[in-house]
Amino acid sequence: MRILFTVVFGLAAMGHSLPAYSGPAGDTVVPSPSKRPLRPADLYRLPAVSDQQLSPDGKWVAYTLTTIDSIKDKRTSAIWMISTDGSQDLRMTNSPEGESRPRWSPDGKYLSFLSSRHESKGSQVWLMDRRGGEGRRLTEIKGGVNDYAWSPDGQQLLLTLTDQEPEDTGKVKTTKPYVIDRYKYKEDVEGYQFKKLYTHLYLFTIDTKKTDTLTRGVHDEGAAVWSPDGATIAFVSNRTEDPDKNENTDLYTIAARPGSIPRQLTNWKGADNSPRWSPDGQYIAYTRSTSDADYIMYDQPVLALISKDGGEPKLLTRNLDRPVRNPRWSKDGKNIIAQVTDDRQQYLAAFSPVDGKMTKLADGPRSYGPADAISDDSWLTTLSEPQLPAELFVVENGKPRRLTHHMDEFLTPLSLATVEGFNSRSNDGTQVSGLLFRPATATPGQKLPLILFIHGGPVSQDDYGFDLTRQVLAAGGYAVAAVNYRGSNGRGLDFCKIISADWGNKEVIDLHGAVDYLVKQGIADPDKLGVGGWSYGGILTDYLIAADTRFKAATSGAGTGFTLSLYGVDRYVNQYNNEIGAPWKSIDKYLKISYPLLKADRIRTPTLFLSGEKDFNVPSAGSEQMYQALRTLGVTTELIIYPGQFHGITLPSYQKDRLERYLAWYGKYLK
């Protein structure tokens, strides 16, 4: 069960289309005949806005803008600053190394950030006057800084640092053998987990540049936040005997001085995360998993509240039955604002810390990011829509007001797909939500070749945000369907966890039901059906082509058709043992969910397999096995391995290549 999040747009309407889309300001978006379709190379022009930080006086926002240099084939981030009235937008940094994690000093006079500029040893904290000018380096930490936060008095930084290996002073630099004795010994991107290195908290005094150890030991700490008075720090840690064998994180507090002893606040056997202090420092809001199992996959975070002194937590959204994330306090402490994942949308809601009463702040056919309070009735957030990649917005009295306009240059020449919501019914009676992308050039009633492009996770969903991949596919002349099959979130816990230990069954039924609906409605050409996806979307692609021969083309990215063979090879040993069982005890279950390879002789669909060479999430062996099976059987197939890439393909030129290969493969068999 692999995790990959993809966002798209849709509107929940049974078979009703949207001829035009109205944006948050009420402006109508209509395809223009003078504009062109989206192309794979356009990803080079697509920037990303993230990590917005509100100034102490609420008048400015610092944020990160990431752009792509197609010549150097890399992404670079810079720090920008915009006034909350939108009148001034300024670039604050500009270096080849890039900058990230902008943070305001408590007096609002300075901006700090992380950068590896000027041959720094890893990312260090830099400081610059908010009015501009050159930054100066504050830290010189060996190995770099993972994260940091200003103390409320502006005198110290709370640093999150990972232990470093002793420097090898030998003349011959030969890599030593990997000596592995951990239960969970693989992690995508990070590689083999054989080093006994831990992440701890430190205090850095700005005037003296002295670094003091705050936490130590054979465990990791993270998500650390200062109390409003600066006396205490809350953080998250897993301090069980063997953290590799469970997902039990708890909240701790520690006095903000060297030599202090941490105090455990929560004792839930599941996951406690994202602590946030109330403005008066008396309470901590956080999220808690619904499940307390050793492995947590089919779950949704609950908003919880606990006293700074510990005790029984209050579960504010126990009865909401929707995932709640990224809690933030209102200025007056009377509400906790959080993101709520609902059917095909992410909305913002305020929750009373007294009784959990919920009030929606902003919702609708769009996807909101985390929100921070500017005042009692205005909130800083990000917003993404079907034809608008994420930008900064201010929500005032329930209405979004756009702040940044970095996407204008990207969008101006393009005519993007329109998007409709639809509901289909599976053959067992389950109602499933879907989203349909239609090419901007499509005419009313036109029957189109269909690509069923499946999201990963499985515990994620396709929502109302901008989706580059599906927009590119639609620009190729296809109707593109995104379906939130059983296992997806946003429809409640029972809908999510029903696929546990039964992979490739109910999800496949739901996906087929959506395709049947689109064919019946005259939207999809039944003779020109394609399927594809990445991660769990690739896995489900393998299941679909082994279950049905009606798909004329498939692209399976980072998938696998023989689950049994990945036991102990990928990073999911905890899930296998807890959900399926050990192979020597549950061989029948493994064989059942491994049917794509074991029933490969049923496959007739020309299939393109793709994977990252260094993927430790779903190793390339999963794609290689399916490729070899189809080659053996004489079914048209091809295998693409992206050198040096992990589970998520990050190199821009490879991302472009993947989009081009999708279009070429589908074009060959569906056009």
Q: DSSP letters of 523-591?
A: -EEEEEEEEEEETHHHHHHHHHHHH-S--SEEEEES--S-GGGGTTTSS-HHHIIIII--TTT-HHHHH
Average pLDDT over residues 468-481: 98
Structure confidence at residue 128 (pLDDT): 95
Question: Residue 277 above 70 pLDDT?
Answer: yes
In this predicted model, what pLDDT tens digit does every residue of 38-73 receive, in sequence order? 999 999 999 999 999 999 999 999 999 999 999 999
Q: pLDDT tens digits, residue range 205-229?
A: 999 999 999 999 999 999 999 999 9
pLDDT digits (tens, 9 = 90+) for 241-257: 999 999 999 999 999 99
Q: Which pLDDT value is given to residue 26?
A: 43
In 3-state terms, what secondary structure has residue 514? Answer: helix
- 1 confidence band (pLDDT: 50, 70, 90): very low
Tens digits of per-residue pLDDT, 574-588? 999 999 999 999 999
Helix H or strand E encompassing 654: helix 652-670
Between 554 and 7, whose confidence is greater?
A: 554
* pLDDT over 50 at 3, yes or no: no
- State residue 22's pLDDT score: 42
Q: Before 24, cis peptide (omega within 30)?
A: no
**118-122, 143-147, 200-204, 542-546 — which is least confidently predicted?**
118-122
Amino acid 36: pLDDT: 97
In the prediction, which pLDDT does 175 show?
A: 83
Q: Does domain 411-670 have CATH number 3.40.50.1820?
A: yes
Query: Confidence band (pLDDT; 50, 70, 90) for 164?
Result: confident
Whether 356 contacts 324, CB under 8 Å: no
Tell me the mean pLDDT in the region 2-31.
37
Q: Please write the tens of the pLDDT for every residue from 282-301.
A: 999 999 999 999 999 999 99
Tell me the residue type at 539.
I
CA–CA gap between residue 365 and residue 350 (Å, rounded): 19
Which pLDDT tens digit goes with each residue over 173-203? 788 898 998 898 889 998 888 778 899 999 9
pLDDT, tens digit (0-9, with 9 covering 90-100), for 70-101:
999 999 999 999 999 999 999 999 999 999 99
pLDDT of residue 450: 98
Judged against a pLDDT cut of 60, whether residue 354 lies above it is answered with yes
What pLDDT score does 168 carry? 62
Nearest to 507 by CA among 452, 557, 555: 452
Q: How do residues 533-577 score in pLDDT, each as one tens digit?
A: 999 999 999 999 999 999 999 999 999 999 999 999 999 999 999
Mean pLDDT on 126-147: 92
E-strand stretches of 30-154: 48-54, 60-69, 74-83, 89-91, 100-104, 110-115, 124-129, 136-137, 147-150
CA distance 542 to 144: 42
Q: In the predicted model, what is the mean pLDDT of residues 593-600?
A: 98
Average pLDDT for residues 437-442, to the nearest whole number?
A: 96
Is the pLDDT at 345 greater than 60? The verdict is: yes
Structure tokens belonging to residue 476? 């190729």
Query: What mean pLDDT do residues 320-327 have?
Result: 98
**Domain spanning 47-145: which superfamily?**
TolB, C-terminal domain (2.120.10.30)
| Residue 659: pLDDT band with limits 50, 70, 90 | very high
Q: What is the pLDDT of residue 169?
A: 63
pTM equals: 0.93
Residues whose CB is less than 8 angstroms from the CB of residue 585 and which lie 6 or more positions away in sequence, other chains included: none
Q: pLDDT band for position 132 (50/70/90)?
A: confident
> Which position has the higher pLDDT, 3 or 474?
474
Question: With 50 as the cut, is the pLDDT of residue 386 above it?
Answer: yes
Q: How confident is the model at residue 32 (pLDDT cuts 50, 70, 90)?
A: low
What is the percent of the chain with per-residue pLDDT over 90, rounded to a whole number?
Answer: 87
Per-residue pLDDT at 5 exceeds 80: no
CATH 3.40.50.1820: which residues of the chain?
A: 411-670
- CATH fold of 153-164+196-315 reads Neuraminidase (2.120.10)
Cα angle at 401 between 396 and 406, to 5 degrees? 145
CA distance 564 to 568: 9
Task: Read off the pLDDT of each residue in 337-366 and give the average, rounded to a whole number.
Answer: 97
Residue ranges of the chain that CATH labels 2.120.10.30: 47-145, 153-164+196-315
pLDDT of res. 2: 42
**Using an 8 Å Cβ cutoff, are 154 and 145 in contact?**
no
Mean per-residue pLDDT over the chain, rounded:
93
The residue with greater pLDDT, 121 or 362, is 362
**pLDDT higher than 50, residue 11:** no
